[in-house]
Amino acid sequence: MDDKPVQLAVVLLVNRAGDLLLQLRDEHAPSFPNMWALPGGHIEPGETAEQAAPRELMEEASLRPDAPLRLFLVQPVPEHHRVKHYFYGVTSAVQDDVVLGEGAAMVFTPVGEVFREREFTPGTARAITDFLASAEYAALREQS
């Protein structure tokens, strides 16, 4: 049995208005169905986290960042046998550019509404809170 934690690449994608892209997992999700998350998924064998993040973003939302994604946080979630690699970036895309490839919904959400009546997958709310308070997010907002 392989007891290495599952490695995930997750994307904190911000549009030019400063809104954050959130995903609502559907009822068929193998883990944490019907919960809010960020676009992302498993890092495939032979793939780096840096390669997985934009691939997952394309698969799940048909979006590309305007510049290469940058690593924000590596978050072990031992109680769920996972390690989440959070990447961040900015996009010129708007909601109409989103093509839902996975989940029940994928929406650019104003920062003030991110935590309104949403239950997030383990670790996600903490990572989003840290990101929105970070110099990295502030710098993305300045680019907008």
Compute the average pLDDT of residues 41-64. Answer: 97
Model pTM above 0.85? yes
Q: β-strands 82-91, 6-15: how paired?
A: parallel
Is the sign of the CA dihedral 21, 130, 88, 32 positive or negative? negative
Q: Check residue 142 and give its pLDDT.
A: 81
Q: What domains are defined for the chain?
A: 6-118 (3.90.79.10)
Compute the average pLDDT of residues 42-47. Answer: 96
The percent of residues in the chain predicted with pLDDT above 70, rounded, is 98
Gyration radius of the chain's alpha carbons: 14
In whole numbers, what is the pLDDT of the chain averaged over residues? 95
Residues paired with residue 76 on neighbouring β-strands, in sequence order: 83
Vertex 97 angle, CA 129 and 24, to 5°: 45
Q: Which of the four pLDDT bands, split at 50, 70 and 90, describes residue 2?
A: low
Give the up-direction half-sphere exposure of residue 143: CA atoms within 13 A in the CB hemisphere. Answer: 15
* Rounded distance between C-alpha atoms, residue 104 and residue 34, angstroms: 8
Q: β-strands 36-37, 40-42: how paired?
A: unpaired
Task: For 61-117, write each residue's pLDDT tens digit.
Answer: 999 999 999 999 999 999 999 999 999 999 999 999 999 999 999 999 999 999 999
Q: Which of the four pLDDT bands, split at 50, 70 and 90, describes residue 144?
A: low
Q: Check residue 130 and give its pLDDT.
A: 97
Residue from 82, 73, 87 nearest 126 by CA: 73
Element (H, E) at 14: strand 6-15
Compute the average pLDDT of residues 20-30. Answer: 95
Give the up-direction half-sphere exposure of residue 30: CA atoms within 13 A in the CB hemisphere. Answer: 3
Measured between alpha carbons, how far is residue 130 from residues 2, 27, 108, 118, 121 in Å?
Answer: 31, 28, 18, 17, 15
Structure tokens at 22: 């959130």
